[in-house]
Amino acid sequence: MDKLPLIKDRYQVIRHLGSGGFGETFLAEDTQMPSGRRCVVKRLKPIADNSQIYQLVQERFQREAAILEELGGHHRQIPTLYGYFRDDDHFYLVQEYIEGETLSGYLQHQGRLSESTVREILVSLLLVLEYVHSKKIVHRDIKPDNIILRSGSLEPVLLDFGAVKETMGTVVTEGGHATRSVVVGTPGFMPSEQAGGRPVYSSDLYALGLTAIYALTGKIPDELESDPMTGIVLWRPYASGVTPTFASILDRAIQPHAPHRFPIARQMWEALTQQSPSQAAIPATAVSDSQNTLVVSPTAVSQPPAIAPTPVPASAGMSDWAKAALTGAVMGVVLIGGLVLYQPNGNSPPEPEDSQPEATTTDSHDAGESPGNYDVNEDRTTSEVIATETAASMPESRAVPESRAVPTADSSQGAVNPPTPRTFRPSAVTRVEEQYRLVSHRQYQEAWSRLHENFRGNRSIFTNGYNSYADWWDTVSHAEAQNPQVIEQTDDRAVVNTQVRLQMRTGEMVYEPREITLLWNQEAEAWMISQTRLLN
Ligand SMILES: Nc1ncnc2c1ncn2[C@@H]1O[C@H](COP(=O)(O)OP(=O)(O)OP(=O)(O)O)[C@@H](O)[C@H]1O
């Protein structure tokens, strides 16, 4: 057998992971680390082959790598960037290897996922997206293949940010100007404004919504019909058991027109965690052109086919999906004429009618410029986007293992029962983070209801029950659980240590190291805080 290559005299290739539009990806061992840790090496090659372009690509690549470094360095659901370099005519990224399985791979053998599992994944990824968007980055290629569920915990991790790939598409126009020549994204998962080169934050929510729909139905967007008048994807008949509120949230996420979607990740996260029908509803402005297909109650869906929660059949969905994945790999970066985006006079194309109203220029050099249209000669990164509302930092989310059963094969269809899959038990860490978020948002009643009943009944702490709890939190203007970590964990009990940061209404800042004990409530399917203790 041929010896596998050693890249840059350092990264010993273990196996080839995949090939995409701009290069190849390898699993490798870092021979210069004592542990010989595993890493993912991405080798990219610019599409234009000349030295002028290479210089430009190098500059952009460096900027985008710096962004990846920041993102991965601050969020555990984004791979850490270990290194980047250029070697001859290739550019390399070396990233943390995420041990696990892509969401699409997971579905192939576990079957379609339950609503609660999909909801958990969404809630978790929305926190990641809010973090990403707070850095003014639009991911641009969210899809089941770019989400890895970590082995053991099934925590979703977001891969493959589009901007680096985009740098590989740098070309020089006839007029001598460098510009992008590609739109990054995957057909079907990519909304129209992104296909037109103008992604906004809610473009990621659109892709995430369709990813969730894939997880619920086993169908990729190309396998679903759309309403010919409105362009709305008609998925509900394939997920008849989904609750109306959850379905409405997904419908809002996948609206073809960006202004009709949730504008930012936080809003979708709030709709999911509170599941208030009013938050899920598409804004009134959307109803006029889509009222026949939106926010459909289950009874309004005509004769949904009875679909048992079977695994995605290997003979149909899997091969289709494999085909689609292959297409995605080829089409992941859609080539467009550089001149389409490049405006020699410096003007941008007109705002599309469906661009987000919130997305007004704050940091671009040109008032009309969109994130998808820039000139490389300007000193800004390809992935900066425009927004008036910077997403506030939201906590990272982590998931832990659990062993509740979800879909089994329908024996009436002759399918074999798959092994009992694990589903998500929300992580104790996420629970702790949420608790501080709730009190920060003054949702005291909600926060109180998530304390264990024994804790709530402790009159030595809460002398006046809920009122003393709410009164105390009213003295705090902002609370945050920093760096929470699970110290102990069994199926039913978890202990999390965290540094609590409290900004008091008086202006004083308080930092409290705390140990928080949580008990699993099977009925509520939630972690309840049963005790907190100040650490020395
Ligand atoms: N950090 C990572 N940890 C573990 N697996 C990874 C990581 N990054 C990529 N992979 C896996 O490697 C394979 C190839 O991924 P990659 O995204 O680089 O290429 P692609 O999807 O084939 O092409 P494209 O870059 O055009 O999307 C995929 O199966 C992906 O899940």
Q: Token digits for 106? A: 């997971």
CA of 297 to the centre of ligand 1 (A): 38
Q: What is the mean pLDDT of the chain?
A: 75
465 lines ligand 1 (CB under 6 A): no
- Picking from 310, 287, 291, 186, the residue whose alpha carbon sits closest to that of residue 238 is 310
CA of 178 to the centre of ligand 1 (A): 28
pLDDT per residue over 129-149, tens digit each?
A: 999 999 999 999 999 999 999
- Picking from 370, 188, 356, 183, the residue whose alpha carbon sits closest to that of residue 285 is 356
Number of the ligand 1 atom closest to the C-alpha atom of 95: 1
Q: Is 323 annotated as a binding residue?
A: no
395 lines ligand 1 (CB under 6 A): no
| Burial per residue of 388-416, b for 16 or more beta-carbon CB atoms within 10 angstroms, e otherwise | ebebeebbbbbbbbeeeebbbbbeeeeee
What does the pLDDT read at residue 366? Answer: 30
Lowest mean pLDDT among 92-101, 215-224, 423-432, 443-452: 423-432
- Shortest-distance Cα residue to atom 24 of ligand 1: 20
- Shortest-distance Cα residue to atom 25 of ligand 1: 20
19 lines ligand 1 (CB under 6 A): yes
- Shortest-distance Cα residue to atom 17 of ligand 1: 160
Q: Token digits for 259? A: 């202004």
What does the pLDDT read at residue 249? Answer: 97
pLDDT per residue over 146-192, tens digit each?
A: 999 999 889 999 999 888 878 888 777 777 776 766 778 899 999 99
What does the pLDDT read at residue 276? Answer: 52
Evaluate if residue 113 carries a pLDDT over 80.
Answer: yes
CA of 147 to the centre of ligand 1 (A): 9
What does the pLDDT read at residue 233? Answer: 96
How many whole angstroms separate alpha carbon 185 and alpha carbon 28? Answer: 26
Confidence band, pLDDT 50/70/90 cuts, at residue 275:
low
> Span 506-533, mean pLDDT?
87
pTM tops 0.95, yes or no: no
The answer to whether the CB of 282 falls within 8 A of the CB of 259 is: no
Which candidate in 2, 49, 89, 141 is catalytic? Answer: 141
- Shortest-distance Cα residue to atom 15 of ligand 1: 18
Q: Token digits for 248? A: 């409405």
What does the pLDDT read at residue 253? Answer: 98
The answer to whether the CB of 291 falls within 8 A of the CB of 269 is: no
Number of the ligand 1 atom closest to the C-alpha atom of 333: 26
81 or 364: which leads in pLDDT? 81
> Span 344-362, mean pLDDT?
30
The answer to whether the CB of 498 falls within 8 A of the CB of 514 is: yes
What does the pLDDT read at residue 280? Answer: 67
Evaluate if residue 351 carries a pLDDT over 70.
Answer: no
pLDDT per residue over 11-51, tens digit each?
A: 999 999 999 878 899 999 999 999 999 999 999 988 887 77
CA of 160 to the centre of ligand 1 (A): 7
Tell me which DSSP letter residue 144 carries: G
Residue 141 bears catalytic tag: yes
What does the pLDDT read at residue 499? Answer: 87
